[in-house]
């Protein structure tokens, strides 16, 4: 493992009452814990909220994006910073990360809310991602930076777009995340997870919505559509996403006793 305890401590932010139910929010690729700031402002009133920088992002820039590193980081946050198992919220790549973690350690969480990740990256889908990730390694960094900056400014609020542009991101995350995700059936993993699962997509998420019904059925999960939005709805509409998180978490709290760590 590359990340020591000191670096892990730097990679996490905790807010909210010590005795409140716990949430752990995990970001997507090319983002960071800063992307959850609007959500934390809302959720910290009633929850103990943890956010992290995944490997190759922000404070974890030099840490490889591997299953070992991510599991060590999630275990560290749950065991060292939270009084009980959290409800985990994963956006895009973050959703796949917490699904793998939940399969390996099902009672380290009380439920999963997965946004923008209702697709099993198997067969040709995995190969397509690999080809795109490999192509990125051959494109001059200044060109990629300009293209990325333009995309973020066109699709997100100015303050978040600027934060994404300014915060460290290691492009090795593209290929390393492809290797880590693998050609696996995440819907099957979720079908064996013993706690509630909610899968959410933006109405116009044309990558993940075509596979949504089959994925949700095979995962034995609940589904939610955010009307009038797309893949980035959790970032563009934080109040609506927080309402979804709160409703899901409160339902779990009413149904379960906190799981001891």
- Which domain covers residue 36, as residue numbers? 5-120+184-255
Token pair 């974890």 is found at 60
151 within a domain of the structure (yes/no): no
CATH assignment of the domain containing 26: 3.40.50.1820
Distance in Å from the first CA to the final CA of the chain: 23
Query: pLDDT digit string (tens) for 184-230?
Result: 999 999 999 999 999 999 999 999 999 899 999 999 999 999 999 99
How far, in whole angstroms, is CA 55 from its chain's centroid?
12
**pLDDT at site 124:** 53
Q: How many domains does the chain have?
A: 1
* Closest to 73 (Cα-Cα) out of 43, 33, 121: 33
Supply 168's token pair.
Answer: 């460290």
> For the chain, what's the residue count?
261
170 within a domain of the structure (yes/no): no
13 within a domain of the structure (yes/no): yes
Supply 196's token pair.
Answer: 């509630």
* Closest to 70 (Cα-Cα) out of 120, 104, 31: 104
Lowest mean pLDDT: which of 66-70, 175-179, 235-239? 175-179
144 within a domain of the structure (yes/no): no
125 within a domain of the structure (yes/no): no
Better-predicted residue by pLDDT, 185 or 1? 185
Q: What percentage of the chain reaches a pLDDT higher than 70? A: 91
**pLDDT at site 253:** 87
β-pairing, 22-26 vs 12-15, is unpaired
How far, in whole angstroms, is CA 92 from its chain's centroid?
6
Are 26 and 88 within 8 A, CB to CB? Answer: yes
* Closest to 216 (Cα-Cα) out of 240, 194, 190: 190
**pLDDT at site 142:** 75
Query: pLDDT digit string (tens) for 11-45?
Result: 999 999 999 999 999 999 999 999 999 999 999 99
Query: Could you tell me which residues come within 8 angstroms of residue 122 by beta carbon, excluding any fewer than 6 positions away?
Result: 183, 184, 185
Supply 67's token pair.
Answer: 């299953």
221 within a domain of the structure (yes/no): yes
173 within a domain of the structure (yes/no): no
Other residues' Cβ atoms within 10 Å of the Cβ of residue 135: 10
How many CA atoms does the CB half-sphere of 120 hold within 13 Å?
Answer: 18
For residue 57, what are the β-bridge partners?
A: 169
Q: How far apart are CA 178 and CA 36, in angstroms?
A: 24
Q: How far apart are CA 229 and CA 211, in angstroms?
A: 17
Are 42 and 89 within 8 A, CB to CB? Answer: no
Query: pLDDT digit string (tens) for 118-129?
Result: 999 875 555 555
**pLDDT at site 213:** 95
211 within a domain of the structure (yes/no): yes
């Amino acid at each position: 493992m590359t990340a020591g305890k000191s670096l892990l401590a730097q990679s996490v932010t905790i807010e909210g009452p010590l005795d409140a139910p716990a949430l752990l929010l995990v970001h997507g690729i090319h983002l960071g814990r800063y992307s959850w700031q609007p959500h934390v402002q809302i959720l910290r009133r009633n929850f103990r909220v943890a956010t992290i920088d995944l490997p190759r992002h922000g404070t974890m820039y030099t840490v490889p994006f591997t299953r070992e590193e991510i599991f060590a980081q999630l275990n560290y946050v749950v065991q060292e910073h939270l009084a009980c198992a959290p409800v985990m919220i994963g956006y895009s790549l973050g959703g796949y990360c917490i699904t793998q973690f939940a399969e390996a350690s099902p009672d380290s969480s009380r439920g999963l809310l997965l946004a923008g990740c209702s697709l099993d990256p198997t067969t040709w889908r995995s190969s397509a991602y690999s080809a795109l990730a490999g192509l990125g390694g051959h494109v001059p960094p200044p060109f990629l930076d300009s293209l990325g900056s333009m995309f973020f400014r066109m699709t997100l609020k100015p303050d978040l777009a600027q934060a994404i542009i300014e915060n460290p991101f290691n492009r090795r995350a593209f290929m390393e995340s492809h290797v880590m995700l693998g050609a696996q059936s995440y819907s099957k993993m979720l079908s064996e997870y013993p706690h509630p699962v909610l899968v959410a997509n933006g109405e116009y998420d044309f990558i993940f919505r075509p596979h949504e019904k089959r994925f949700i059925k095979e995962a034995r999960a609940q589904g939610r559509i955010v009307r009038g939005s797309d893949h980035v709805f959790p970032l563009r509409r934080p109040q609506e996403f927080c309402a979804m998180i709160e409703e899901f978490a409160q339902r779990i709290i009413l149904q379960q006793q906190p799981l001891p760590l």
